[in-house]
Amino acid sequence: MEKTEKQKMLAGELYLAEDPELAAENKRASRLLRKYNSTTEEQQQQRQQILQELFGKIGQKVTVIPPFHCDYGTNIFAGDKLYINYGCVILDCNTVHIGDNVLCAPYVQIYTAYHPTEPEIRLSSRELAAPIKIGNNVWIGGSAIICPGVTIGDNTTIGAGSVVTKNIPENVIAAGNPCRVIRNLS
């Protein structure tokens, strides 16, 4: 039995994003995001209901300040006490697991999606995606970019403007482009 494009996407294999099933899921997310991003600060209960419908899992006391954007939403699994500030983009073409007590400053970008580097394959419209895992008690500074396939360990701080291209261990401060450990905390 051949895999669906969604199964290929979640397995990290080449897939076609314009597949009808994926296109329908993206439209669903776009509809929910349009509603979410038009809410006001007085509509906290409505925001929580939309996030519960949008995300694959959502913990307690989750705050996402609009505007917020994602591809599907269903591949985002958020823990307790998550705070996401203005302008966050999560390209969740693969799973994004976010631990408890995570803080994301404005304009954090989390990208599971990427394109093949070989032009012939890229011209076929096929894409790739790799999962991202963000541990517990992590602070991600403003305008940081988390690249496909990255894991960030518990109790870690990622400096503002960093481009995280490789795994970052737990209990460190890391920053730069490319992001690297600049101080151990333990």
What CA–CA distance (Å, rounded) separates 92 from 39?
A: 22
List residues with catalytic annotation: 115
User: In the block, which residue shows the tokens 């990290």?
Assistant: 12
Residue 154's pLDDT is: 98
| pLDDT tens by residue, the chain, 186 residues | 899 999 999 999 999 999 999 999 999 999 999 999 999 999 999 999 999 999 999 999 999 999 999 999 999 999 999 999 999 999 999 999 999 999 999 999 999 999 999 999 999 999 999 999 999 999 999 999 999 999 999 999 999 999 999 999 999 999 999 999 999 997
**Encoded tokens for 95:** 């799973």
| Whether 96 contacts 112, CB under 8 Å | yes
Q: Identify the bridge partners of residue 168 per DSSP, sorted by sequence position.
A: 152
| Whether 55 contacts 76, CB under 8 Å | yes
Closest CA to 6 of 77, 95, 70: 95
What CA–CA distance (Å, rounded) separates 98 from 94?
A: 13
| Whether 91 contacts 113, CB under 8 Å | yes
